[in-house]
Structure 1
Amino acid sequence: MPELPEMETYKQQLHTILAGKRIIDTDIQREKSINVASDLFMKELNGAVIIKIDRRAKHLIFHLSTGKYLLLHLMLGGWMYVGTDQDAPKRTKQITFTFDNVKLYFIGLRLGYLHLHNKQTLEEELADIGPEPLENNFNIDSFQELLEGRRGMLKTTLVNQHVIAGIGNCYSDEICYEAYLLPDRGLDELSKEEKEKLYSAMVSVLTNATQLGGYMENPLYKGDQLTGGYNDHCLVYDREGMECNRCHSKIIKTEISSRKTFFCPGCQK
């Protein structure tokens, strides 16, 4: 599932390509992917200009010239492609936007969605999401305060969108590894120094992953050299049985609260 770095990469690239462009036509092949009737959705979208694209947690927010918003969550298996029918992937597209010279294809939205909102309903939808971990005002003091008195394991806390926004399976494991901490450690067991390491690891991993384009393998457009660049830089995620780069122990895969989890038993404590 795309996480903060993947969605931030999408946001930055899509804003560059699509901001200021008018939606000429909308094609909906799966009505379950939207939250209103198809004819109303197309009426609201056709002729609207995409003013800008923002990200909140694992969501993208398309600001429309009509004053409405599109809220996208790709969920598991969802991705996007910008191009033409000639170079687009040979996959089923649930929704397609046509612009003057390109199309935006939403692919794999079997669990994901693209919902139309006004300002009030958008704010209500996003109201219970935790702070953005890379925001300038979310510093070590904010992080310590956020964890104060909280119980539970590192893994389940990091992926809890009500606590911290945008972190999922992959980066929770990478963050724990970077901090030398086992993902099943209890928050109430962590020392102040370990929490400081955890915060530093979170910022470092998410920043690096975003700069490298995240781990999504599918390119956003023909010739895309950024998207998926982090895929070869994961140090524990999906590396079961491979050697740890630090201590050469074998990476282990387990499950924590039904989530696949990867860690090094040698150097994570």
Structure 2
Amino acid sequence: MPELPEMENYKILLNQKIAGQTITEVQINREKSINLNPVLFIKTCHHQKIIDINRRGKHLLFHLQNGQTLLLHLMLGGWIYYGTEADKPKRTVRKKLYQSIKTILQKGIQHGGYMDNPLFKDDKLTGGFNALYQVYHREGEKCNRCGSIIKMEKISSRKTFYCPICQT
């Protein structure tokens, strides 16, 4: 499931590959995925040069020569589970957590995220963060910090990996 590092990576790679290119064909596989009449959508996009690609959250924005913007969303979401009000971390813990998340996201972006499938044939960046996992997808392995065995639990049908010593 693409998260922020993957979306930022896609933005960078797509800018390198297709910014400045002209859209030569428009194919709509699912009419529900566009918010225009299909004929108008094709007319709006066809033969337009892609000026730039930006990212806002998990959306990719393709800016076209005619001033229109195509918005791409991969229809996958992320969320944070806190549990009850009493389970929420205190303010100092939240600040430290925020800084840690920010650092990890920046490293994820720098190393191309975790997705296994490259964006294009010679893409060597996508998935580079996999080798840097500290706990994610390492259930049953030793924690790099304390040597304890990493555990996995399902929370709201999502897998959560953690070290029972370092992260409790």
TM value normalised by structure 1: 0.56
**How many Å separate the matches in 1 of 2:130 and 2:35?**
33
Cα–Cα, structure 1 residues 23 and 233, in superposed 2: closer, same or farther, change >3 Å? same
Q: Does 1:34 pair with 2:34?
A: yes
Amino acid at match of 2:35: N
1:156 to 54, 75, 81: 81
**More divergent stretch after superposition (247-256 vs 10-19):** 247-256
1:61-85 alpha-carbon deviations (Å, 9 max, x no partner):
1111222111111135xxxxxxxxx
Name structure 2 gaps, 5 residues minimum: none
Size of the alignment, in residue pairs? 164
1:223 Cα deviation after fit:
1.4
Q: Which residue of 1 aligns with 2:21?
A: 21
Name structure 1 gaps, 5 residues minimum: 77-111, 113-153, 158-184
Structure-to-structure mapping, 1:192-211, within 5 angstroms: 192=92, 194-211=93-110
2:141 to 237, 242, 251: 242
Q: Give percent identity, aligned residues only.
A: 52
Q: Does 1:219 pair with 2:115?
A: no
**How many Å separate the matches in 1 of 2:48 and 2:81?**
40
1:218 Cα deviation after fit:
0.9
1:191 Cα deviation after fit:
4.9
Q: Which residue of 2 aligns with 1:260?
A: 159
Structure-to-structure mapping, 1:28-177, within 5 angstroms: 28-76=28-76, 155-156=80-81
- Match of 2:134, SS state, is coil
Cα–Cα, structure 1 residues 268 and 65, in superposed 2: closer, same or farther, change >3 Å? same
1:93-125 alpha-carbon deviations (Å, 9 max, x no partner):
xxxxxxxxxxxxxxxxxxx9xxxxxxxxxxxxx
**How many Å separate the matches in 2 of 1:242 and 1:14?**
36
**How many Å separate the matches in 1 of 2:137 and 2:80?**
16
1:190 to 71, 90, 105: 90
1:244 Cα deviation after fit:
1.2
- Structure 1 segments of 4+ aligned residues over 6 angstroms from their partners: none
**How many Å separate the matches in 1 of 2:131 and 2:35?**
37
**How many Å separate the matches in 2 of 1:235 and 1:32?**
40
**How many Å separate the matches in 2 of 1:75 and 1:234?**
25
